[in-house]
């Protein structure tokens, strides 16, 4: 008896996974070649993917992930929604992506996508041309995970290094190592091993497709900037962001969630000007709580979201409300 293979759409955005270097040991300078494979070309390089799924390649772009931002997220989301509507037989989606901003694209999709199928974002730490590249096995495991019935209801996922991580929790922690992606507070969701895709826990925070964020028809998201705290920081960056038209500011503050007096003064001015301020921390893990001091300034606590994740949630929150109490609720929900 043969088991029907899942049907998985693979959407390409580029990144290290799609890159081709000058030599098998070109593991660092490869971005300078400018050679990046389109997703169908990447799949041709690793044809074994056809043994684990009925693969549907969808070209989007082939760029480094430092080039990817909110406009690309909106375009990518439309591609996913259109593909799901046009091909109901699709069991899951994989997005190939550079690792620099993998966690941000994945978290946006985990908040904004309106499809039941799993969405898995995958990248590689070594180019597809490199000796010992992780591109092939990561791609295979992402496709297997996206096609697994067990992945349904898990929100958007990130798969590298045989590990399945929640888009909400995962972050890149090392520049070059293959075990770079970590979920600091709570750990991985499961493994994509040779014999099975195995989950061991489920995210409890609200996630796709059951969210209040509907960005269909939008061609931009509200501007939200991140102000990084350091010893002696003043309010220059905050004032500049407000002048540039920021609708929200996330502060990557000192742990467990505070800023210098001068930066706090600037953030107070921002709040008075109608800008929503969310207090996160540069620590990399742990909660920022909605303590009385934050509330007295009109700041919203980011919970355990790192600054780049808090920024995305605030951008989406601002598409539905500017009420601080409602935004506090959103940060306590997602």
Residue with structure tokens 């309010």? 235
Find out whether 89 and 118 touch, Cβ atoms under 8 Å. Answer: no
Q: Where are the alpha helices (DSSP H) in the chain?
A: 39-45, 70-86, 102-112, 135-146, 236-243, 261-272, 292-297, 307-317, 324-333
Number of neighbouring beta carbons within 10 Å of residue 243: 9
Q: Which long-range contacts (CB under 8 A, 24 or more apart) does 199-203 make?
A: 199/150, 199/151, 199/154, 199/164, 202/153, 202/154, 203/154, 203/155, 203/166, 203/168, 203/169
Rounded CA Rg of the chain: 20
Residues marked active site are found at 16
Q: What's the per-residue H, E or C state across 231-296?
A: CCCCCHHHHHHHHCCCCEEEEEEECCCECCHHHHHHHHHHHHCCCEEEEEECCCCCCECCCHHHHH
Find out whether 57 and 12 touch, Cβ atoms under 8 Å. Answer: yes
Contacts of 241 (CB under 8 A, 6+ apart): 225, 227, 249, 270
């Amino acid at each position: 008896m043969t088991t029907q293979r899942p049907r998985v759409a693979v959407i390409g955005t580029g990144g290290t996974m799609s890159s081709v270097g000058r030599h098998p040991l070109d593991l660092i300078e490869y971005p300078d070649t400018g050679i990046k494979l389109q997703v169908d070309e990447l799949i041709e390089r690793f044809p074994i993917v056809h043994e684990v799924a009925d693969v549907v390649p969808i070209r989007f772009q082939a760029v480094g992930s430092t080039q990817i931002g909110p406009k690309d997220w909106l375009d990518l989301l439309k591609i996913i929604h259109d593909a799901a509507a046009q091909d109901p037989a699709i069991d899951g989606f994989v997005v190939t992506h550079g690792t620099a901003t993998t966690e941000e694209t994945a978290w946006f999709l985990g908040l904004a996508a309106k499809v039941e199928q799993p969405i898995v974002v995958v990248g590689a730490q070594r180019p597809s041309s490199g000796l010992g590249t992780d591109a092939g096995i990561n791609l295979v495991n992402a496709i297997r995970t996206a096609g697994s019935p067990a992945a349904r209801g898990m929100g958007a996922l990130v798969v590298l290094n045989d590990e399945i991580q929640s888009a909400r929790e995962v972050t890149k922690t090392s520049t070059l190592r293959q075990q770079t992606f970590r979920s600091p507070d709570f750990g991985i969701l499961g493994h994509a091993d040779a014999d099975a895709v195995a989950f061991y826990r489920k995210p409890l925070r609200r996630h796709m497709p059951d969210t209040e964020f509907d960005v269909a028809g939008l061609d931009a998201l509200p501007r939200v900037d991140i102000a990084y705290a350091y010893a002696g920081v003043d309010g220059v960056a905050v004032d500049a962001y407000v002048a540039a038209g920021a609708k929200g500011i996330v502060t990557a503050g000192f742990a467990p969630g505070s800023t210098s007096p001068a930066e706090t003064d600037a953030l107070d001015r921002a709040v008075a000007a109608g800008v929503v301020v969310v207090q996160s921390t540069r620590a990399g893990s742990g909660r920022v709580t909605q303590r009385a001091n934050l509330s007295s300034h009109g700041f919203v606590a980011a919970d355990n979201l790192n600054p780049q994740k808090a920024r995305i949630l605030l951008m989406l929150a601002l598409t539905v409300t500017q009420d601080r109490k409602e935004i506090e609720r959103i940060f306590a929900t997602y």
